[in-house]
Amino acid sequence: MSAERTSDFRKEEDFERSRQLLGETLHLDGPASAALTRRALDDSKFAFYLLMTKDSPSLQIKLLGNMAVSAAPTTPLPDSAALAAKAGKALLNWGLGGFRKVDEDRFARRWAACQACEFLADPPQRLVYQGINLLMSGDTKICSACGCMAAKKAALNTEACPRQDPANASMTRWGEPVIVLERTG
């Protein structure tokens, strides 16, 4: 495979196509993970080392093992009081919006983006999450960028993804426009 072909994934504007090309370049069984692709797109030195390991599975495993540790999101979760306040505000906004949920197609797009995101995580062993898990059914994973129950947030018409799309700063990772709220006072 030529050097030009191996760098194609960095020139691709479509993130899913970048994942596919990186997977092919690295001889993976399918597309590269979203987290791996984001790291390779954001960190040219990492991408260089990653491409150097494409023909050496043992080195690739070693590099990817280190990547899992160093690329883990480090956004601290809000404390329990802040989470309760955020949940209360979200519930109020949802009520003011008529308690509407997004349609099935929009939820599917949002949830697919969450499932491909490195911020989707199991909830920590905190009382607030244990209580929510007892009261709610369905997927219990959280968005570690904001602390919300990801599947529940993705279903609400009044909510937005807290992170920008790495490929397009005017859009969220859900593929929806970023809404910038002006602060007053």
Q: What is the pLDDT of residues 87-125, one digit of tens each?
A: 888 889 888 988 899 999 999 999 999 988 888 888 887
| Judgement on whether residues 54 and 95 belong to the same structural domain of the protein | no
Number of separate domains in the chain: 2
37 closest CA partner among 120, 112, 118, 145: 118
Residue 181 in domain: no
113 closest CA partner among 28, 44, 175, 170: 175
Q: Quick one: pLDDT band at residue 6, thresholds 50, 70, 90?
A: very low
The residue among 49 and 12 whose pLDDT is bigger is 49
Residue 179 in domain: no
Beta strands 164-165 and 120-121, pairing class = unpaired
Q: Average per-residue pLDDT in the chain? A: 80
Mean pLDDT computed over 163-169: 89
Place of tokens 């991408």: 47
Write out the two tokens for 174.
Answer: 């859900």
Quote the pLDDT of residue 7. Answer: 56
Domain assignment of residue 52, given as a range: 3-70
Residue 178 in domain: no
| Judgement on whether residues 86 and 166 belong to the same structural domain of the protein | yes
Question: Which of 38-42, 62-66, 140-144, 158-162 is the least confident region?
Answer: 62-66
Residue 88 in domain: yes
Question: Whole-angstrom Cα distance, residue 158 to residue 102?
Answer: 9
- Which value, to the nearest 10 degrees, does the dihedral of the CA atoms of residues 152, 36, 17, 75 take? 40
| Judgement on whether residues 12 and 96 belong to the same structural domain of the protein | no
Please check the confidence at residue 58 and state whether its pLDDT lies above 50: yes
Question: Whole-angstrom Cα distance, residue 22 to residue 30?
Answer: 9
Please check the confidence at residue 42 and state whether its pLDDT lies above 80: no
Question: Whole-angstrom Cα distance, residue 31 to residue 57?
Answer: 16
Please check the confidence at residue 28 and state whether its pLDDT lies above 50: yes
Write out the two tokens for 21.
Answer: 């090309």
Mean pLDDT computed over 25-43: 80
Please check the confidence at residue 11 and state whether its pLDDT lies above 60: yes
| Judgement on whether residues 84 and 152 belong to the same structural domain of the protein | yes
51 closest CA partner among 34, 77, 32, 79: 32
Quote the pLDDT of residue 160. Answer: 95
Check if the beta carbon of residue 156 is closer than 8 Å to that of residue 90: yes
| Judgement on whether residues 87 and 138 belong to the same structural domain of the protein | yes
